[in-house]
Amino acid sequence: MSSFDLFLDLALIFFLLLVVLNYRAHRSVLYPPFIFCAMWLLVLLVVRLGLIELDPVHGNTLALVAAGAASFSVGGLLAGLAPRKLLRIHLFPPKPKRTPDFLRNTLLIVLLCGLPLMLYHTLQLSKSQGGGFDILKQARLEMVEEVKNEEPSGAVSLAATFTSFATFASFLFATEKKDWKFWVVTATAFFACILSTGRTNLLMLISGLCATRLLQTKRESLLGAIRLLRWPIALFVALFIGLIFTNKDTREIDGGTTGAVTYFVFAAIVGPLAAFDRVVQQPGDYITTANHSFQFPLRIAAALHLTNYTRPPVLDSFVYVPFPINVYTVFKFFFIESGIVGALVLLFFVGLLHSLLYLKARQGGRFSTYLFAYFMYSVLIVIFDEAYISSMGGWLRAIVFGLFYFLIGAVPLRLFSANKQWTFHFTNRVVNPAMHHP
pLDDT confidence of residue 367: 92
Q: How confident is the model at residue 169 (pLDDT cuts 50, 70, 90)?
A: very high
Convert the pLDDT of each residue in 267-306 to its tens digit: 889 999 999 999 999 988 888 767 788 888 888 888 888 8
Residue type at position 377: Y
The beta strands (E) that lie in 179-257 are given as none
Query: At how many degrees (to 10) do helices 199-217 and 154-174 cross?
Result: 10
The secondary element (H helix, E strand) that includes residue 436 is: none
**Does the predicted model carry a pTM greater than 0.85?**
yes
8 Å CB contact between 196 and 152: no
How many other CB atoms are there within 10 angstroms of residue 29's CB atom? Answer: 21
DSSP 28: -
Which residues, in sequence order, are CB contacts of 213 under 8 Å at separation 6+? Answer: 174, 228, 229
The secondary element (H helix, E strand) that includes residue 325 is: strand 324-325
User: Range with the lowest mean pLDDT among 226-230, 260-264, 364-368?
Assistant: 260-264
Which residues on adjacent β-strands are paired with residue 320? 324
SS3 sequence of 8-22: HHHHHHHHHHHHHHH
Query: At how many degrees (to 10) do helices 135-148 and 222-247 cross?
Result: 90
How many other CB atoms are there within 10 angstroms of residue 428's CB atom? Answer: 9
Calculate the CA 227 to chain-centre distance: 23
8 Å CB contact between 203 and 377: yes
Residue type at position 237: V
User: Range with the lowest mean pLDDT among 33-47, 88-102, 156-170?
Assistant: 88-102
Give backbone dihedrals phi and psi of 319, rounded to 5 degrees, phi first.
Answer: -125, 160
8 Å CB contact between 315 and 326: yes
Sign of CA dihedral 77, 83, 89, 91: negative
8 Å CB contact between 260 and 244: yes
Mean pLDDT of all residues in 313-321: 86
Closest-CA residue to 201 (of 249, 173, 160, 233): 160
Residue type at position 182: F
The secondary element (H helix, E strand) that includes residue 175 is: none
DSSP 324: E
Task: Flag whether pLDDT at 432 surpasses 60.
Answer: no
Computed on alpha carbons and rounded to an integer, the radius of gyration of the chain in Å comes to: 25
Query: At how many degrees (to 10) do helices 32-49 and 366-380 cross?
Result: 20
Convert the pLDDT of each residue in 327-357 to its tens digit: 999 999 999 999 999 999 999 999 999 999 9
Mean pLDDT of all residues in 257-274: 84
Runs of H (alpha helix) within 80-153? 84-87, 101-128, 135-148
8 Å CB contact between 32 and 73: no
Task: Flag whether pLDDT at 418 surpasses 50.
Answer: no
Mean pLDDT of all residues in 200-216: 93
Q: Cis (ω within 30 of 0) for the bond into 322?
A: yes
- What's the chain's average pLDDT? 85
Convert the pLDDT of each residue in 174-203 to its tens digit: 998 888 999 999 999 999 999 888 788 999
How many other CB atoms are there within 10 angstroms of residue 144's CB atom? Answer: 14
Closest-CA residue to 112 (of 222, 35, 18, 192): 192
Convert the pLDDT of each residue in 355-402 to its tens digit: 999 999 998 889 999 999 999 999 999 999 999 998 888 999 999 999
CA 358 – CA 87 distance, rounded (Å):
10
